[in-house]
Structure 1
Amino acid sequence: MKRALLIVDVQNDYFPGGKMELHNSLAASRNINEVLADCRGNSLPVIHVQHIATRPGATFFLPGTPGAEFHENVMPTADEKIFVKHYPNSFRETGLHEHLAEQQITSLIIVGMMTHMCIDTTVRAAFDLGYECLVVEDCCATKTLKFHDKEISAEDVHVAFLAALNRVFAKVITTQELAAQP
């Protein structure tokens, strides 16, 4: 089993001052930075996914804007692969699956943003493609959602989506639990 770190959409628009600020994005990015350092130190492949909006009416991750750039806490190095996506699913029309197959990667550590959208969609797609998935819960961030007249806090959204992924689609763990793995 060959494992890689998949970092999804850790881009400036999700941080304070950005066009789609998420709850706990800064804390999540610090944890991602820790996981990233460990993966680099252990020579695990690192793959970055960058969402560039192409949908008419999009308000964030617009092409050529600072908000679409990677956040400083998770900047790719020259030898790390970057895939640009235009949909929540990191595999859709990106070549990610083909790259992973070429590298014989069968297990993914998945971190990034937004828990309820791109993380959820990417994890489910990865599972359907046969990958073993680990999602690092404190390396993900999301936002408060509204449905009809109800407001669901970011904390509740985060926990609900991770609970739905856990066991069947992925094993959901913490940064500390990941660091304790051999």
Structure 2
Amino acid sequence: MTRDAIIDAATAFVLVDIQNDYFPGGAMELHGDEDAAGRAAGVLARFRGLGAPVLHVRHEAARPGATFFLPGSWGAAIHATVAPLPGEPVVTKAYPNSFRDTPLAGLLDAAGAKRLVVCGMMTHMCVDATVRAAFDLGYPVTVVADACATRGLSFGGRNVAAPDVQAAFLAALGAVYATLVVAADLV
């Protein structure tokens, strides 16, 4: 697969929740956050250079008792590494699925997007929900695996390390929902 086969005017780049709270000093620091954001920035530069559509998604907590992504906070802002340029749409969401109760689908239609390239944070939550929803809406999706980050989880008394969470969720997405690539494949 060549990079030109993936990125064209009908391919939109969707950056999901690359926000300050996921970085050092934030309320929910992730494993591999800075490396993932740096790779996302490289892919972002490529899309911008080709004039292909770019859409940013940011989460604002709407549920009572939320401890991160609080509306108007530094933590809810998009990280400077991938800051939107004037004219690049920013979709604000309150659910893991970036399409739920947002204008994302309409913005993609308006941009003429037929395919999506997705990266972001957290792999096991908002990236997963967004990619599955995009697939259900009929978009062929490519996930930039090394431009995503997550954190460790626990279940049933077992701790699951962040690299294992990352591998499991990417493997599941790659089985049906998306093509998986690394940033170097696109830049």
TM-score range normalised by the length of the shorter chain: over 0.9
What secondary structure sits across from 1:163 in the alignment?
helix
Deviation at 1:95, TM superposition (A): 1.1
Task: Measure, in 1, the Cα distance between the counterparts of 2:102 and 2:14.
Answer: 13
Q: Aligned residue for 2:71?
A: 63
Unaligned runs of 5+ in 1: none
Deviation at 1:19, TM superposition (A): 0.2
Task: Measure, in 1, the Cα distance between the counterparts of 2:116 and 2:101.
Answer: 19
Q: Aligned residue for 1:123?
A: 131
Q: Aligned residue for 2:105?
A: 97
For residues 121-165 of structure 1, what are the alpha-carbon distances to aligned partners after superposition, in whole Å with 9 as ceiling and x for unaligned? Answer: 000000000001000011000000011210000000000000000
Q: Aligned residue for 2:43?
A: 35
Percent sequence identity is 51
Task: Measure, in 1, the Cα distance between the counterparts of 2:94 and 2:126.
Answer: 11
Deviation at 1:167, TM superposition (A): 3.9
Structure 1 ranges of 4+ moved more than 3 A: none
Q: Aligned residue for 1:86?
A: 94
Task: Measure, in 1, the Cα distance between the counterparts of 2:112 and 2:101.
Answer: 20
Q: Aligned residue for 2:5?
A: none
TM-score norm. by structure 2 comes to 0.94
Q: In 1, are the aligned partners of 2:53 and 2:111 still within 8 Å (CA)?
A: no
TM-score norm. by structure 1 comes to 0.96
Unaligned runs of 5+ in 2: 1-8
Do structure 1's residue 4 and structure 2's residue 12 form an aligned pair? yes
AA of the residue aligned to 1:159? A
Task: Measure, in 1, the Cα distance between the counterparts of 2:37 and 2:12.
Answer: 18
Q: Aligned residue for 2:32?
A: 24
**RMSD between aligned alpha carbons?**
0.9
